[in-house]
Amino acid sequence: MFRAILFRKIINKTLVNIDQVKIVYFLSLVVGLLSALAAAFLKNTIHFTHILLTEGIVSESASYLYFAFPLIGMLLTLLFVRYVVRDKISHGISRVLFAISKRKGYLRAHNTWSSILASTLTIGFGGSVGAEAPIVLTGSSIGSSIGRFFRLNSKNITLLIGCGAAGAVSGIFKAPVAGIVFVLEVLMLDLTISSIVPLLISSVTAATVAYFLMGDKVLFSFNITEAFNVNNIPWYIILGIISGLISLYFSKMTLFLEGTFDKVKNQYIRLVIGGTVLGILIYVFPAFYGEGYDTIMALLQGNSGKMLESNLFGQMTDNYLLMFVFVSGLILLKVVASSSTNGAGGVGGIFAPTLFIGGITGFLVAGLLGKLFHLELPDNRFVLAGMAGLMAGVMHAPLTAIFLIAEITGGYNLLIPLIITATTAYITTRGFEKHSIYHLELAKRGELITHDKDKAVLTRMNWKKEIETDLKTARPDDTLGDLIRIISRSNRNIFPIVDQYNILEGVVSLDDVREIMFNQEMYSTTSMKDIMTMPPTYIDIKENMEAVMEAFRKTGAWNLPVLDNGYYVGFISKSRIYSSYRELLVEYSEE
């Protein structure tokens, strides 16, 4: 204990004399390194857990172990989270966004390891989700913990969170540019000179570590060498529209299914329901077992028949109608499999399911267009473009989708089709839904940080700290004489009138009594009921900052009462909000 305190003192004294910018540069390298190591560790633990469990399974859907393993994995995850972690760790990217928005970059230290273990149990045992969101949460937590250890301000802690997220994405996919763009698009960090350099350092460091540890074996990689065919542009537009509509379906269905699971209060009943649904789906569609990247690789390599191996449809590969129904089932039911995994208590993200559905969508669209119009379309290009389209639509991150797929294909020969498909998908989805699946719930609560600096600062503000509770109150039956005595003990000019239960009845201001306050004849004959007025509106303490500012805008008032379920709490003034806003804006803005 003494050594830890001494070390902390040495660190604090050292930091005083070092340029904070240089500290952030150095820490971004450390965060990138640790995030990449965490990503490599997670991918390997999932891989070896998967191999250990499935090595002896007969390659047929009739093997009931495919039904049992995911349920066992989710049970172990549930027990681990409930009795060891004792904190919610699902929906990792949304948690990172909330930490940036409302907790000044604070992520609990256990997130540096708990998501890795929980997602290993879930995905390694066959849960139909991805490891990307857990590792983004892990990398972000590493950045948050290091930033807080070195006592950086909230702006630099947030920057290190972004470095951790960039390092995680870069380390998993070996895609440094995509890692940076992911932070800018999804986590919505501002692109400035002071932020781009640490993100570059972290992302490149993570990609280098990924090369060193795993070489080319980073999830999947596929080299495109053929030249782009301009004649296929209309078909990529069609693919983009279809991808956008499927993205909308995926987002809406995910939120609906997970909301339905949340209504089941008993965790073990949720586990049984989700595990049973997932087991049945895996029994029918073995491609749902785990992340699904093997299926994508098979499609890229032209081995589409592998999708139909080891399942109930395996003997009917020559039936085109059956093939169409089967592939459509993969697209439409993957969201049920992933939502059932998370709803049952598993820990994983939607990154991999999105890429899975996108790849299958691209394959299906290429096949249908080829059949209908007698075209020879490159399946592998459409698979990759479909992956970009779904990612752009679901995550509202077209640039991340474009650069990620471009980087994992080893070049930019596919850049134009990726831009066309991703942009079209994004525009299509955005026409129906303004926010991505990661941002939607936060946006509804007014807790989403955006690139609009004014809105970002207002979102960060905790207006409840500005509530003034020192105002002297009076009762409705109090007389003017009673109020004069209250005024003599107060330095405020507003006096809330509350009943015996502390329910607000009205307000009396100093201006209301200025003309009569020296008329002693009225002291005993005038009560508060005679002179109090009702405020133009009130603010519920549960409201967000956006609602508070809207109330001030509509009423033109400078002071409004704050209530909690009807009970008087205090007053909030526009001047205090503006003062707090200016202070936070200085901290938030570039120096």
Mind listing the pLDDT tens digit for each residue in 301-329? 877 766 666 566 555 556 677 788 888 99
pLDDT at 220 over 80: no
Q: Cα(43)–Cα(209) distance, rounded to whole angstroms?
A: 14
The answer to whether 543 and 536 have CB atoms below 8 angstroms apart is no
pLDDT of res. 312 = 61
For 50, other C-beta atoms within 10 Å of its C-beta total: 20
Instruction: State residue 339 phi and psi, 5-degree precision.
Output: -70, -35
Q: Tell me whether residue 525 is in a domain.
A: yes
* % of the chain with per-residue pLDDT over 70: 84
Sole residue written with tokens 């990726």? 418
Taken in order 243, 247, 250, 252, the sign of the CA dihedral is negative
CATH number for the domain that contains residue 359: 1.10.3080.10
Longest dimension (CA), the chain: 102
Q: Which of 59-73, 166-180, 420-434, 500-514 has the lowest mean pLDDT?
A: 59-73
Q: Tell me whether residue 464 is in a domain.
A: yes
Closest residue by Cα to residue 436 from 401, 393, 387: 393
- The letter for the amino acid at 7 is F
Q: Tell me whether residue 136 is in a domain.
A: yes
Supply 56's token pair.
């002896």
The answer to whether 523 and 511 have CB atoms below 8 angstroms apart is no
Domain end point (choices 187, 214, 241): 214
* % of the chain with per-residue pLDDT over 90: 34
**First vs last C-alpha separation in the chain:** 37
Shared domain for 260 and 156, answered yes or no, is no
DSSP reduced 3-state for 238? helix
Helix (H), strand (E), coil (C) string for 461-483: CCHHHHCECCCCCECCCCEHHHH
Helix (H), strand (E), coil (C) string for 423-442: HHHHHHHHCCCCCCCCCHHH
Supply 476's token pair.
């409705």
458-484 burial, b if ≥16 CB within 10 A, otherwise e? Answer: bbbbebeebbeeebbebeeebbbebbe
Mind listing the pLDDT tens digit for each residue in 446-496? 555 555 555 555 566 677 888 888 888 889 888 888 888 888 888 888 889
- The letter for the amino acid at 589 is S
Shared domain for 28 and 167, answered yes or no, is yes
Domain end point (choices 159, 184, 214): 214
pLDDT at 43 over 50: yes
Q: Tell me whether residue 388 is in a domain.
A: yes
Say what the pTM is.
0.79
pLDDT of res. 16 = 53
pLDDT of res. 58 = 46
Domain end point (choices 449, 479, 501): 449
CATH number for the domain that contains residue 567: 3.10.580.10
The answer to whether 349 and 383 have CB atoms below 8 angstroms apart is no
Mind listing the pLDDT tens digit for each residue in 278-287? 988 988 888 8
Structural domain for 148, as ranges: 18-214
Q: What are the C-alpha distances in Å from 71 to residues 262, 351, 372, 525? A: 18, 21, 42, 76
pLDDT of res. 590 = 47
For strands 539-540 and 504-509, give the pairing.
Answer: unpaired
Sole residue written with tokens 């026409």? 431
How many degrees, rounded to 5, is the angle at CA 121 between CA 117 and CA 126?
145
Supply 283's token pair.
């029994």
- The letter for the amino acid at 304 is S
Q: Cα(345)–Cα(499) distance, rounded to whole angstroms?
A: 48
Closest residue by Cα to residue 69 from 295, 279, 364, 380: 279
Shared domain for 28 and 107, answered yes or no, is yes
Q: Cα(134)–Cα(114) distance, rounded to whole angstroms?
A: 9
Shared domain for 247 and 362, answered yes or no, is yes
Supply 169's token pair.
């994405």
Shared domain for 445 and 519, answered yes or no, is no
Shared domain for 381 and 434, answered yes or no, is yes
Q: Cα(562)–Cα(573) distance, rounded to whole angstroms?
A: 10
| Most confident among 71-85, 187-201, 458-472, 477-491 (mean pLDDT) | 71-85
Mean residue pLDDT of the chain comes to 83
Q: Which of 53-57, 132-136, 309-313, 469-473 has the lowest mean pLDDT?
A: 309-313
Number of structural domains the chain divides into: 3
For strands 504-509 and 494-498, give the pairing.
Answer: antiparallel
The answer to whether 291 and 47 have CB atoms below 8 angstroms apart is no
Q: Cα(317)–Cα(323) distance, rounded to whole angstroms?
A: 7
Shared domain for 53 and 190, answered yes or no, is yes
Q: Tell me whether residue 3 is in a domain.
A: no
The answer to whether 71 and 271 have CB atoms below 8 angstroms apart is yes
- The letter for the amino acid at 425 is A
Sole residue written with tokens 């540096």? 112
Q: Tell me whether residue 402 is in a domain.
A: yes
Q: Tell me whether residue 340 is in a domain.
A: yes
Mind listing the pLDDT tens digit for each residue in 20-34? 778 899 999 999 999
Q: Is 58 exposed, middle or buried (0-12, 13-18, 19+ CB in 10 A)?
A: exposed
pLDDT average, residue stretch 126-131: 90
Shared domain for 420 and 470, answered yes or no, is no
The answer to whether 479 and 521 have CB atoms below 8 angstroms apart is no
Shared domain for 108 and 207, answered yes or no, is yes
The answer to whether 417 and 385 have CB atoms below 8 angstroms apart is yes
Shared domain for 390 and 474, answered yes or no, is no
Shared domain for 332 and 441, answered yes or no, is yes
Q: Cα(338)–Cα(360) distance, rounded to whole angstroms?
A: 16
For 522, other C-beta atoms within 10 Å of its C-beta total: 16
Mind listing the pLDDT tens digit for each residue in 380-404? 889 999 999 999 999 999 999 999 9
Residues 6+ apart with CB under 8 A from 284: 61, 311, 312, 329
Q: Tell me whether residue 561 is in a domain.
A: yes
Q: Cα(42)–Cα(132) distance, rounded to whole angstroms?
A: 10
Q: Cα(139)–Cα(141) distance, rounded to whole angstroms?
A: 5
Shared domain for 440 and 583, answered yes or no, is no
The answer to whether 205 and 33 have CB atoms below 8 angstroms apart is yes
